Structure 1
Amino acid sequence: MGHSAAVWDYKAATEITKDWNGIDKVVLRNPGGASARVSLHGGQVTSWRNEQGEELLFTSSKAIFKPPKAVRGGIPICFPQFGYCGSLEQHGFARNKIWTIDENPPPLSPSDSHGKSFIDLLLKPSEEDLKCWPHSEVRIEGLETLDYLDNICQKERFTEQGDAITFEAEVDRVYLSTPNVVAVLDHERKRTYVIRKEGLPDVVVWNPWEKKSKSLVDFGDDEYKQMLCVDGAAIEKPVTLKPGEEWTGRQELSVVPSTFCSEHLDLQSNGF
């Protein structure tokens, strides 16, 4: 008669201690002796050692384990932006906040309960965080799935992933090979600006957001909340004319109730 394997108690292999500066950290271990350390400062993994005790992650010997300075090294959580591609501090605010341990985590699946250790952390944004990361009441439809050049990220080329474009940070983009009809939906005022264009294959989308607004001498600090630049353009392929050739660029703006727009406007239409 064989012996049944002992049930692995992952909670018993989870230890909560404090860093030298008094911030909680969680030490996770597995049956083989491998371990990981997760700091509640930023929810950041600061150490991962194999069964031989060798450190597998780099964390600087001069790392500052104290808010508001993020820990240099390990595995940081960059949210809601990476680098300076947004209006917030570098890599966003999540890596500089104190996270909490989820007292009621979702249940583990049976396949995950054998020889593994877990900790579930939560980040509860403060009211100040939410002010820095507001949700917009304006969205653009007609540019989904298209490629764009991001002027904030050295004109790097990306593909739009959203069902529509919304605004939660600085945006400075050139959308390429766009349809001739684009809509800007203003949910608060229940109206839609319809942009019909001809001879202008690209679309510029710009909003300076909070940080950039304050650096513009001819722009009010809070005016980013009241405006959005959406413009037909010819940027990727400049227009060149030989002697005698003509070029026509045309853009028409109209405003319709949002309910009418959603029911009757065909955004894929290429005509006027």
Structure 2
Amino acid sequence: MSAESASSSTAPPPPPVQGPTRRFTGRDNRGGRSVILRQPGGYSAEILFYGAQVVSWKNEHKQELLFLSKQAIYKPPQSVRGGIPFCFPKYGFARIRLWGIENLKHDTAFPPPTPDNAYADFLLNLTPDKFPDWPDHRLELRLRVILGPTGDLTMTTRIKNVNTNGEPFTFKFAYHTYFSVSNIRLTRIEGLQTLDYRDYVEGVDNNQFTEEADAITFKDRVDRVYMNTPDEIRIRDLELRRVITIHKDAGLPDIAVWNPWEFDASIIDDLGDEEYKEMVCVQAAAMENEITLNPNEEWTATQRLSAEEYSDMI
């Protein structure tokens, strides 16, 4: 036997090819049970069963891209301050309910996931006795969360009216996303120039304006809803040289932008007094015009988040 053949016969087997993974945590996890999605490149995301709320999304450097308050309360009926609360029918009950895991692989509203995706499907199947605000309605809420091979985070929601009494219902909706930033004063929101918006800062009389700036910057409290927005909006962190892009479909025509600034942060119990400097909410939403569903009608909406670093060099 030659040295070459002897060497090849005793060589260790190649390491197994790693793919995307999904792992469930226990009830003693922060916030209760959750699903953790991972990609071989280092990307990850964590979604709580409580509210089907994404509470972590990390890039290939394992840097957190979502803001989660150090004072967040993980106790029903309190919603968790940070991540991506699921706001339905406006800021209502969906984000303070315990969702179940569901297999939506054969649901035609959700395209089949590809083998290189890590994903989890959630279901909130509500009957009238479970939500006193809507005593006569039945509905299904379904959510798929996908972590792609390059770290993109995609959320697709389907809401269906399953009333048997023939009644329609109306609602508003938002992916109430809290993004982590290095410094709110060095953060820009791009893609909203020339658009009409409503300003909800207290004391504003005529609250509809047109955005004249090339980008939204922050020097005080901001609470606005921009209408008829484009499909892509960017959050640019000038200090970290990082851009996060919100890609959204026509089901989410609005973008809400919020930062509480110093005074409001000081009176929010589950937000640290200085934490407003580290976060900005940019929400893909359907808020200005309510959506109406008749029995057996359904509504879907998708948001995809991507992150990349950039250089000032040309």
TM, length-normalised to structure 1? 0.45
Larger RCO (CA within 8 A; separation ≥ 6): 2
Larger radius of gyration: 1
TM, length-normalised to structure 2? 0.39
